[in-house]
Chain A
Amino acid sequence: MNLGSMARAVATFAILVILHYTLRPLLGWRAPMDFLVLALLLGSIRVRPAIGALFGLALGIVSDSLTPDALGAGAVAMTVVGYLASWLKAVFFADNLALNAFFFFLGKWVFDVIFFIVEQRLGGIELVQQLLLWSPLSAAATALAGILLLFIMKPLLEPARV
């Protein structure tokens, strides 16, 4: 990854983080889009799986600090998602928006599954409802947002050829 590519990745990451803390609370949806997961996915595909895992750990700890009761749950989920995203980078490179949307969806849903299981706040029917209804909806919203961002920020999101 050269310097220009690094700068573009950092700019994309910053934009997504800002969107996560501004647009998401402004919309206030019951099934919100997750820009941090998008940032993790788009960042992890540019690095090795180990780095992706560490990136996920750091991002998870940071996001969990705003919800201290869930501290660690997001970190576990993002660590796994970061590792998997980096491992599946070949798929992400496909220049197919539908495929990318599917992987955004999958990444967010996997994140939610791990997060809610590790958090242990929900149980029983509530957990099932969350994982089978709200999480897919949120993953769909995230995938749509991701596709939109891919379309808008295409120059910034050109992955480095390894």
Chain B
Amino acid sequence: MARAIRSTNSRVDLIVLAAAAMLALVARGLPPNLRDPVASSMRRTFLAPLVMLQERAEASRRSLLLDNERTAIRDSVSLRAMTVGALESENDRLRQLIGLGARLRWGFIPAEAIHGRGVRDVTTMTLTAGSNAGVRRLSPVISPEGVVGVVTNVDPTMSEAMIWTHPDFRVSAMSADGSAFGIMQAHAPSATTGYLMELRGIPFRSTLKPGTLIVSSGLGGVWARGIPIGTVLSEISTAEGWARTYLLKPVVSPADVGAVMILRNDRVTKGFENVWTSVAAADAAAQRIVVAGDSAARSAALAEAAARRAALDTTRRDSTAGGQIPGGLPPELMPDTLMRPPGAARTLDSAAAAARQEAARRAAARRDSARRDSAAADSIVPRSPTRGI
């Protein structure tokens, strides 16, 4: 009996196995257009959480695998970011140098300053231009900010310059308004003040306020007049009782000198009037240009609005004269062909067109004048600090 039951159960199991295997094979044999919707519907419904789990696990694996690569990329980006500041400052400096070159126009030799690391190199530097390029002894070395030094030794391809920090360096200097003359030399550096200048030999009758710009006076023949040297910080007391001595903040920091210009003698004798324009003057000019542009645009917009209003007023007058029905559509919503005869429409159109043309002409004239103003502002030679001396 038990054997019979077991046999029946085994037969049932085999039948179920065969049926299940058959179903699976049928599923395997389904064409793709039937198979895909079935699989897709299962993935979208009860399998969705499992699909999501699998996606996240694979994303985690990818993240783990890419971690080293990302770290390397992050490190390299950080490294590059550290050099961005230096590159930006170098870029700004080169732009300034290009601007100075454009203002000088001729008579200069561009060179790169090579700083040494020795004690003596604080006061001298090597320049990458020599006699082959036209450099001569005692040629002035300048930067976009002003006085840097003077060439002391010249080789065919290199030259050596004495920076203003050198104890033997002197420049005949004056205040920008020409009220006081003196001799600039390096101030003995200290740990707290860094590199500063002294302006010696200022007569007692002349007093300089802090912030006064000091430029080269042009006396002596080496330096031309008007090259910025520094600004007055304060008066200092010295043993000399016959003149005042002022402490100056230099316009050129020795550590920041990179690209410089070596002036040729013929350029020095020609002078540097108007080469060093102040930043404030340039800003003011730029603001004037912007304001002029804005006002011109505003005027043009107002003129155009006035022309439109005039055209609409004319339209209303014409429509009222033509028998507009009170309570009907407003004139601006009436079709032209219904509102007035063809002749009136032509008159109206021509009036509006004339008004628009007039407004456009005025706007163009304003824009031209604004352009002329801005061009003039650009070409206006700012008053030199040394003019009138």
Contacts and interface: CB of A to CB of B under 8 A. Distances in A.
Contacts of A24: 57
Interface residues of B, number: 35
A22 interface: yes
Contacts of B9: 48
Contact of B13 (A23, A80, A83): A83
Contacts of B35: 68, 71
A74 B30 CA distance: 14
A15 to B, nearest CB: 13
A46 B50 CA distance: 25
A66 B32 CA distance: 14
Interface residues of A, number: 34
B23 interface: yes
A75 B61 contact: no
A48 B14 CA distance: 11
Contacts of A17: 50
A68 B20 CA distance: 19
Interface of B, secondary structure class, is helix
Contact of A23 (B15, B30, B57): B57
A50 B53 contact: no
A9 interface: no
A25 B57 contact: yes
Contacts of A87: 13
B53 A22 contact: yes
B39 A65 contact: yes
B47 A62 contact: yes
B29 interface: yes
Contact of A75 (B23, B40, B51, B56): B23
A80 B53 contact: no
B276 to A, nearest CB: 67
Contacts of A18: 53
A72 interface: yes
A28 interface: yes
Given A57-B24, A72-B27, A76-B28, A64 B61 contact: no
Contacts of B51: 21, 66
Given A48-B9, A64-B27, A66-B51, A71 B20 contact: no
B20 A57 contact: yes
A26 B24 contact: no
A75 B13 contact: no
B60 A26 contact: yes
A83 B17 contact: yes
A19 B127 CA distance: 71
Nearest to B26: A72
Nearest to B32: A68
9 contacts: A22-B54, A26-B57, A50-B12, A53-B20, A66-B51, A68-B39, A68-B40, A71-B30, A83-B13
Interface of A: 17-18, 21-28, 48-50, 53-54, 56-57, 60-62, 64-66, 68, 71-73, 75-76, 79-80, 83, 87, 118
Please list the 5 inter-chain residue pairs (A to B) with the smallest Cβ-Cβ separation, ordered nearest first: A72-B28, A75-B24, A50-B16, A72-B27, A68-B39
